[in-house]
Structure 1
Amino acid sequence: MKPGHPVIDVLDFISRGAEQSGETPLSVFSRTSDLLPAQVLPSDEAGAAEVDGLVHWSVRGERAQYGKRYLHLEVSARPILICQRCMRPFVYAVESAAQLEVVTNQAALDEDNEVDDPDMEIPDRILAQASQPVLELVEDEFILSLPYIPRHDYACVQYDNQDTPEGAGKKPSPFAALAALKKQ
């Protein structure tokens, strides 16, 4: 990250119950920009108005019961991804909230947190740092929120000849080609 970006003393930030938020251009995140295509959609493309090229984020410190410390991180953005079905660009909505447990030593970081209740979420842990770049945490969460295989939420144009999600339920008959042959 570049100078001038927010850096916090994690333990102090949590003890004060501090909060920071901001908007950062997607181009600032070097690891992310290497993963994504050009962030421009044609103006007539669906969702083009939604693309602002910004990552909106907030981080809040909390000291909970039994002395546990947490950072609550929220990240939202509208990056352009390439659908792996039809290979066309589309806008993907990232809305992520993460709770990170902050520990002060490597032993606590490595400690196994097995829980009997499979429905209970165990927060990820991070090691407290005196100068933690906030945007590193934001970029990590952003990357984790991106799909492994990006694709439209509805059937792609290439497969169903439909431009909208409303028409996505209408699939062509697999026997349409046979019907065309029968008419010859």
Structure 2
Amino acid sequence: MSAFVIDAFEFSRLKERREGDVSIADMARLSAESVNKSASLHWTLQGGADSLNHPQLILTVSGEIELMCQRCMTPLKFAVESESVLILAKTDERADEIDILLADDTVDVIVGSKAMNVMELIEDEALLAIPLAPKHDICPGNAVLDDLMSTKKASPFDVLKGLKQ
């Protein structure tokens, strides 16, 4: 994965904005989950501050990734549409303090750095957006499986009853 490194605090202070596309093949962990490695995701990163003046990053990731359906083992297209508000802290202890202060599940408090790899943030965001066990609502081409499921099997008790007679 090609690194895109920022000083997270300076990026937030200057309210910078960057966006781009990244190939799924360039993200090892996400690539391992994907059937189609040639697809890409679009991302946007916006710096700023929250209402209490904590530095923050707003990361959006969107696109389509093909996952393997865990029911029928065929590809499943999954739309990634994710936005995260990341409040920056200088230390783990300060991150915990801010998290308690905000008491808001819609934001994540993370430890920022002067050398933050944005591509890792993007990959993390995409991984959190995909389901743990992806499944089609209705699996395609499962007529044979549907027939097997609808065929009534003889009850073991009916078989025993037949043997008694």
Q: What RMSD, in angstroms, separates the aligned Cα atoms of the two structures?
A: 2.5
Task: Answer yes or no: is the 8 Å Cα contact 2:33–2:67 preserved in 1.
Answer: no
User: 2-side partners of 1:155 and 1:53: how far apart?
Assistant: 24
Matches within 5 A, 1:1-184: 1-2=1-2, 5-37=3-35, 39=36, 53-111=39-97, 113=100, 121-152=105-136, 154-157=137-140, 159=142, 161=143, 177=151
Task: Tell me, yes or no, if the aligned pair for 1:72 and 1:100 is still in contact at 8 Å.
Answer: yes
Q: Distance in 2 between matches of 1:104 and 1:91?
A: 38
Aligned to 1:48: none
Instruction: Pick closer, same or farther for the CA change 1:114–1:128 going to 2, 3 Å.
Output: closer
Whether the 8 Å contact between 1:86 and 1:158 is mirrored in structure 2 is no
Tell me: CA distance 1:143–1:64, structure 2 relative to 1, closer, same or farther (3 Å). Answer: same
Within 2, Cα distance between the matches of 1:59 and 1:22?
9
Per-residue deviation, 1:64: 2.4
Report the secondary structure of 1:66's partner residue.
coil
Aligned to 1:164: none
Structure 2 unaligned blocks of 5 or more: 153-165
Q: 1:139 to 1:177 in 2, by over 3 A?
A: closer
SS at match of 1:157: coil
Could you report, residue by residue, the CA deviation over 1:83-132 in whole angstroms, capped at 9, with x for unpaired residues? Answer: 1111111211111011111111221123352878xxx5341111121011
Query: How far, CA to CA, are the matches of 1:91 and 1:83 in structure 2?
Result: 9
> Matched residue pairs, number?
149
Larger Rg: 2
Q: What TM-score do the two structures reach when normalised by structure 1?
A: 0.71
Q: Which runs of 4+ in 1 moved over 3 A?
A: none
Partners of 1:158 and 1:19 lie apart in 2 by 45
Encode CA deviations 1:35-78: one digit per residue, 9 max, x unaligned.
323x17xxxxxxxxxxx611100010111222212110000121
TM-score when normalising by structure 2: 0.79
